[in-house]
Amino acid sequence: MDNSLSIFSLILSAGFVVQVVMFILVLMSIYSWTLILSKKKTLMDAKRDVKVFHHHFLADTDLEKLHTQIPKIVSDRTPMEHIFGSGYGEFIHSKSTSNQALIMNSERAYRSMNTTSNNEIDRLDGGLSVLAMIASSSPYIGLFGTVWGIMHSFIGLASVKQATIAIVAPGIAEALIATAFGLFAAIPATIFYNRLVSQVEAINNKYTAFIEELFVIFQRQQ
């Protein structure tokens, strides 16, 4: 009998609780991969948006012209357009050209841009806590299935007069498969969680750098 068939048969012959544990772990693994792929695309779009918008920003520092080019409807804006639009909108909110009014406008613009940036980071970070939960809990769920399976294997030995490897091994192998399922779900979740968190942090740093750069331009116009 080949290994794949023996493993498949062990899964089918496992106890009900162990099978439930493996089913839960399979669902967690599928969900984590769905979340990973979705979040990966979202972060790629965000990084592309930062690069493209900052290129336009450096090519033409006419803020009023740049502001007229972004969509008027907030929901149609990209994150960088939303950050810039919220800041510039606050900066030109007051028609007064006094130095004090310009200072207040630039400070309001700075706070508005930070708020918009934080909201965007919260959106990018959304779902990663679930990925962290899967990464941390999957091994323990698998271990529970293993402990349960081994416990029932040894209980079954009580009715056997002479225990041999041939009798003990299948039950233990069935139980250990639950641990393997737990690791199968946890390892990718752990790797990609750390990777995605670092990417969100990198995007956050770029947002912060852009806000500081724009704030300096606002202050120069005072």
Q: What is the pLDDT along the chain (222 residues), one digit of tens a residue?
A: 444 446 676 667 677 888 888 899 999 999 999 999 999 999 999 999 999 998 888 887 778 888 888 888 888 889 999 999 888 888 887 655 566 666 777 888 889 999 999 999 999 998 899 999 999 999 999 998 888 888 877 776 666 666 566 666 667 777 788 888 999 999 999 999 999 999 999 999 999 999 999 888 888 776
Give the span between the Cα atoms of 60 and 82, in whole angstroms: 18
**Chain centroid offset of residue 184 CA:** 18
pLDDT at 17: 82
pLDDT at 149: 81
Say what the pTM is. 0.81
pLDDT at 32: 95
Burial class from Cβ neighbours inside 10 Å (0-12, 13-18, 19+) for residue 12 reads exposed
CA distances from 23 to 99, 142, 158, 178 (A): 66, 10, 29, 10
pLDDT at 2: 46
pLDDT at 5: 43
Greatest Cα pair distance in the chain: 97
pLDDT at 44: 95
Q: Which of 108, 45, 107, 111 is nearest to 80 (CA)?
A: 45
Q: Which of 126, 173, 130, 183 is nearest to 15 (CA)?
A: 173
Domain ranges of the chain: 19-150+176-220
pLDDT at 51: 93
Of all residues in the chain, what percent are helix, strand and coil, respectively (each to 5)? 85, 0, 15
Give the span between the Cα atoms of 138 and 9, in whole angstroms: 23
Whether the Cβ atoms of residue 102 and residue 222 lie closer than 8 Å to each other? yes
